Amino acid sequence: MRFPGARRPTLLQAQRWAGTLTAIFAFVACAVSGEMGAVMVTLFPLALAGASLGGARFRGRAQWAWTALLGGALLIFAAQVLAGHLDVVLAAALFAELLCIHRLWHRRSGRDEVILLLLSLLLLCAGAALAAELAFGFAFLAFAVSGTWALALTHLRSAIEAGRGPAGSAALLDSRRIATPALFAGLAALALAGIAGAAVVFFAFPRVTIGGLRRTSRHAPVAGLGDRVDLSQHGTVADDPRVALRVRLDPEPEGGPRDLAMHWRARTLSHWTGQGWRSQGAAIPAMRLPQRGPGRPSAVLGADIEIVGSFADGVVLTPEGWPVSVDFRRPGSPRPPAQRLYRNGAGDLFYQPVDGNDLRYFVAVDRDEPDLQALRGRGGQYPPWLAPDLEVPALDARVQALAQRLGGGKDPADAVAAIERWLGTALRYTRELPGEVADPVADFLFVRRAGHCELFSSAMVLMLRSLGIPARNVTGYFGGRRTGAGYYAVRAGDAHSWVEVYFPGAGFVRFDPTPASARGSAQEGLRARAVLLWDGLQQRWRAFIVEYDLITQARAMRRIAQLVDETGRRLAGKGNAPGGRARVTAMVLAVVLIGAGVIVLLRRWGGRRQRRGSFALTADQERAVRLWRVARTMLRRSGMETAPATTPRELARRMPAAGEVAVLYSDARWGFSPLSASTARAALKRLRAALREQVATDRAA
């Protein structure tokens, strides 16, 4: 670590910087929730800059003004909370921010620094209650490191001030030799140890919750696919890299492709407005979804779908195929889901309530769809409820003529295939929007001969309807990019539009006239990758941290127990032998004990080597040291206390009984005189006898 100006900071500077950093990261942890409001978010950096530039000038002044301001703010927040205009946690966070700002402007003593750290901790807690974002995680990590610095340095400062007094501490506090890079690195390592400990506590702490005061979720603005399409817009279709859906498929697609070629159906738009489409028909609660036909579905695909909160507009997105079931219940959760399923006449699925939060559900679809051969020869007799999908608006004559040319007189299946093929090959895909034109479809087909997916699908629907074939426009997403977190990310830029055509006995069948290479988005840029990377991290954060609950914990513990069992069986070499866990436990204990023994031996060996390295003792000297230790122990046991600093000669003067041992020790240890084991033993024997005699005399006296 190199500090500006190539000079190390003084201890006082380093301590203040660490405290400031801690407050900043606590504020960031709170601010990433997005609930604090622009004013309060802007206020903190401004106040911080003000405190850094001119804080010293105002320190300790106009306290009454600060008190009045804080008191006023407290009253306002309390009134808003009581009136129900402000969440109590948010109010607490805002007030903690104001207190932090106040303390940043008044940092005079070590006590102020301690209060600032405690306020920062409160702010972090408020952030934990407000935000569940990954950004909080990064702020938390930064807080853990800077907080460790700040705590340790603040303690050091307080200890120096208390231990040496104001005058004596000044030199140390202004010293540039204490806050060294090594100290910061050591403290950072300490913080890492703290984070590791936090992880252990986090995963092992029993997740038994009372659930008394749960904070309600905030409502966020939603940007879904919408229930209408306007083809007369200006500009360019933007490539939005934001993730709209996260999908896990069961079974996984073969080969685990990077890009998924899958239509994610949102809703149908049947009514032509002249400039686009709109949906029709109200949805009613659906207890069970209608089956496609008799018999069990043969090819069921399960999709675990998570709609990102900002795209969750009440529509249930389904993968290609006939939806068999939709389940909003979280696997393993005993609670009933809050959402209910609805279905409209067109078969679109919806849910209520829409709360702006991410929605996760499991949908199963029957992917067994008839091919073109199977669709041929089904005739042109359609039920009356298909009237909206046969509705032909006032069309440009050329559109009708083109439809006739491509599909007139053919079997409906062949006509559909021909029109789809022609559109996909004769026309070009572009993201440029046509702008306001009288007939966007005619303009697309005969003037520009290029357009985006909605124009392709709209043209096909209108051409089919002009031939008397029921068809409708469908919106949704196409694609999905595999992420490192094990799910497919469908992004906002993957929004797509295609066609469903009705065939008697087969129902609506999907056709997509947009050229295959132009479907979905073309997002390969740095930003798109960064968004995907961030989303992947966010998912891991949510999976392992935010949504870690009692069920997950129990599952993880069971998994650990299973692993232990399996390991035990493998070690025992028996497939299903009982007592595997006990065996592993015994082995782990044995390994721990052996490890501890090795560590103790290594330390002893290291210590001895170190002692020998610094001043190697001869055998006689070591014997003298041992003799001296034993003699002192004997003296102590006989009630003769000796201070550690007592020299042998002093001891000999005070206690004549120890005179011989003292002389032997001094001569051998420091005078390099020989000392045999027998001599030492004899001296000890005589000392013991003398001490006994002395103790007896004392008792008699």
**392/546 with CB nearer other proteins:** 546
Query: From CA 86, how far away is CA 82, in angstroms rounded?
Result: 8
Residues that bind other proteins (CB under 8 A): 114, 118, 121-122, 124-125, 127-129, 131-132, 136, 140, 144, 148, 151-152, 154-156, 158-160, 162-164, 172, 178, 187, 190, 193-202, 205, 207-215, 545-549, 606-607, 610, 636, 641-645
Alpha-carbon dihedral sign for residues 58, 60, 64, 67: positive
φ and ψ of 499, to 5 deg:
-130, 145
CB of residue 102 to other proteins, shortest distance in Å? 18
CA distance 237 to 492: 11
Nearest approach in angstroms of CB 335 to other proteins is: 12
DSSP per position, 392-449: -----HHHHHHHHHHHTTS-HHHHHHHHHHHHHHHSEE--B---S-S-HHHIIIIII-
The minimum distance between CB 610 and other proteins, in angstroms, equals: 6
Q: How far is the CB of 67 from other proteins (least distance, A)?
A: 21
Complete edge-to-edge strand list for the sheet that includes strand 263-269: 318-319, 263-269, 471-478, 495-503, 507-511
- Compute the distance between CA of residue 123 and CA of residue 136 in angstroms, rounded to an integer: 12
DSSP secondary structure of 442-505: HIIIIII-EE-HHHHHHHHHHHHHHTT--EEEEEEEE--EE-TTSSEEEEGGGEEEEEEEEETT
Beta-strand pair 322-327/428-429 = unpaired
Rounded to the nearest whole angstrom, what is the least distance from the CB of residue 645 to other proteins in the complex? 5
Which CB, 10 or 642, lies closer to other proteins?
Answer: 642
Nearest residue to 657 (alpha-carbon basis) of 694, 623, 625, 616: 694
* Of residues 164 and 278, the one with the C-beta less far from other proteins: 164
Which CB sits closer to other proteins, 643 or 700? 643
Q: Measured from the CB of residue 155, what is the shortest distance to other proteins in angstroms?
A: 3
> Which residue, 130 or 467, has its beta carbon nearer to other proteins?
130
Give the nearest distance from C-beta 653 to other proteins in angstroms.
14
Least CB distance from residue 560 to other proteins, whole Å? 18
Reading the block at residue 334, the tokens are 């005993």
Rounded Cα–Cα distance for residues 416 and 408 (Å): 10
Residue 602 · residue 658 · CB < 8 Å: no
Per 3-state DSSP, the chain is made up of helix, strand and coil in percentages (nearest 5) of 55, 15, 35
- Is the CB of 164 or the CB of 410 nearer to other proteins? 164
Taking the least distance from each CB to other proteins, the nearer of 331 and 384 is: 331
Q: Whole-number minimum distance, CB 617 to other proteins, in Å?
A: 17
Using the minimum distance from each CB to other proteins, give the nearer residue, 155 or 367.
Answer: 155
Q: How far is the CB of 414 from other proteins (least distance, A)?
A: 58
Which structure tokens are listed for 498? 């295609």
Q: Are 564 and 580 in contact (CB under 8 A)?
A: yes
DSSP for 549-604, written as a single string:
-HHHHHHHHHHHHHHHHHHHHHHHT-SS-S-HHHHHHHHHHHHHHHHHHHHHHHHH
Distance from C-alpha of 292 to C-alpha of 356, rounded to nearest angstrom? 32
Nearer to other proteins, 125 or 630 (CB): 125
CB 91 within 8 A of CB 76: no
User: Smallest distance from the beta carbon of 107 to other proteins, in angstroms?
Assistant: 16
For other proteins, give the closer residue by CB, 139 or 463: 139
| Residue 37 or 606 with smaller CB distance to other proteins | 606
CA gap 449, 203 in Å, rounded:
59
